[in-house]
């Protein structure tokens, strides 16, 4: 998993609340067994019409949002069913950070497992960022996970909180498997002591 330390990107603005996982990745695309390739189906029913053509009015289809790797949304992002595919789709599409007032609990946990940083801010801070993006659509945000800050231009710095254990995992690029493998020597010693593996 790629470490997340300091990240700079433009922002895709999604001025919506209650964006649930069924909308993030519709159920008809959950049959794939790989973790990759889901980005093409992200927000499929919103991004495309019944003929599979892009809807020009949808946020992620707007030229100003092309290439943005930070997604800004309103409250309750990622609620609904517990599908991890929602985070896979967002990550595969290119998003490394999601900023919202609140998240679905399972979605929030899945973000950290897949190298995506979910940042929770107050309603006032979210509204302030939306206003800033309206005024300066091409503005880049600097997400600094070491300092736990969002820097927008020269005049705005927002502090955010994230659990220290999860912060360290992202900083070091460790998923659950990577975290376990850090203790591989101790695991092997334990198994040798019980005769589960041969001594070398």
Q: Under 8 Å CB-to-CB from 49, ≥6 apart: which residues?
A: 55
Indicate the range of 14-18, 31-35, 115-119 predicted with least confidence.
31-35
Q: What is the Rg, in whole angstroms, of the alpha carbon atoms belonging to the chain? A: 19
As beta bridge partners, residue 192 has none
- At 99-139, the pLDDT tens digits run 999 999 999 999 999 999 999 999 999 999 999 999 999 99
Query: How much is the pTM?
Result: 0.88
Tell me the CA distances in angstroms from 95 to 136, 155, 160, 187, 200, one per residue in order: 20, 25, 18, 35, 44
Question: What average pLDDT is seen over the chain?
Answer: 91
- At 148-188, the pLDDT tens digits run 999 998 889 999 999 999 999 999 987 665 555 554 566 66
Q: What is the pLDDT of residue 153?
A: 87
Q: What are residue 149's phi and psi, to 5 degrees? A: -135, 155
């Amino acid at each position: 998993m790629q470490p997340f330390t300091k990240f700079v990107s433009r922002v895709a603005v999604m001025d919506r609340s209650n964006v649930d996982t069924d909308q993030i990745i519709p159920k008809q695309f959950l049959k794939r067994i790989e973790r990759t390739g889901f980005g093409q189906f992200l927000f499929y029913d919103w991004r495309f019409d019944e003929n599979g053509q892009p809807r020009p009015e949808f946020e992620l289809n707007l030229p100003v949002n092309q290439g943005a790797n930070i997604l800004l949304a309103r409250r309750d992002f990622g609620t609904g069913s517990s599908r991890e595919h929602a985070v896979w789709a967002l990550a595969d599409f290119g998003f490394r950070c999601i900023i919202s007032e609140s998240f679905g609990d399972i979605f929030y946990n899945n973000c950290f497992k897949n190298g995506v940083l979910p940042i929770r801010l107050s309603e006032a801070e979210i509204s302030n960022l939306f206003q800033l993006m309206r005024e300066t659509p091409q503005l880049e945000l600097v997400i600094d996970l070491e300092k736990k800050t969002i820097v927008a231009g020269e005049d705005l710095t927002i502090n955010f909180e994230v659990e220290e254990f999860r912060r360290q995992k992202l900083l070091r690029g460790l998923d659950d498997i990577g975290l376990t493998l850090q203790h591989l020597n101790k695991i092997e010693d334990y198994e040798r002591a019980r005769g589960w593996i041969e001594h070398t």
